[in-house]
Chain A
């Protein structure tokens, strides 16, 4: 009886392993393919890659320069 149960659990384990090995993540593969194709064909860069670091801290207000520049006429 014990041997029979051990055999059963081993068989169950093996079949589960086979299932895992066969399993192909089709949705993940499509996502990966899309990502690579967009990169290689350089499609819609703006949409897929958001959050690109744009240096927006560059323009300084420089309030001191104003009075010197303004009365030019």
Chain B
């Protein structure tokens, strides 16, 4: 019986430790993979910026971007905008995946994506477009 009690105390202290660790989480966003994705996205941003401003591209509610109004782009740039958006979305998907995996919780990917979705829109500049419900809204 004593042994059992000692075991139980050990077990509960171990669990308490786990709880302390879980209560103080800090997401690591500086793994080599994440740094590379950030650099790629930062470089692309200067090309995307005019499209956010013109309304050609908007922020989707699920943490990606989409071509909202291709007619806002000069004809000769229209093919470029699709690949620009596609590349950005590939990077974003990788980013969400890497943050989850890099912190040892691949199952967090969707939660991280949802968190980002809200934060992108929150930090978007006035005049940019984002998806709300099924419609595009100008911020």
Residues of A within 8 A of B (CB): 2, 5-6, 9, 12-13, 16-17, 20-21, 23-26, 28-43
Contact = CB atoms under 8 A, between A and B. Distances in A.
A40 B4 contact: no
15 contacts: A9-B8, A12-B15, A20-B18, A21-B105, A25-B25, A25-B27, A29-B111, A29-B112, A36-B95, A36-B116, A37-B123, A38-B123, A40-B38, A41-B123, A43-B123
Contacts of B29: 32, 35-36
A25, A30, A31, A42: residue with the most chain B Cβ atoms closer than 10 Å: A25
Interface of B: 1, 4, 7-8, 11, 15, 18-19, 22, 25-27, 29, 34, 38, 41-42, 45, 95, 99, 105, 107-108, 111-112, 115-116, 119-120, 123
B34 to A, nearest CB: 8
Nearest to B115: A29
B123 A23 contact: no
A33 B7 contact: no
A42 to B, nearest CB: 7
Given A28-B25, A35-B29, A38-B123, 18 more contacts: A2-B4, A5-B4, A9-B8, A9-B11, A12-B11, A13-B15, A20-B19, A26-B111, A29-B27, A29-B111, A30-B119, A32-B99, A33-B115, A33-B119, A36-B34, A36-B95, A39-B42, A40-B45
A29 B96 CA distance: 11
A33 to B, nearest CB: 4
A37 B119 contact: yes
B45 A32 contact: no
A35 to B, nearest CB: 6
Contacts of A5: 4, 8
Nearest to A24: B111
Contacts of A34: 119, 123
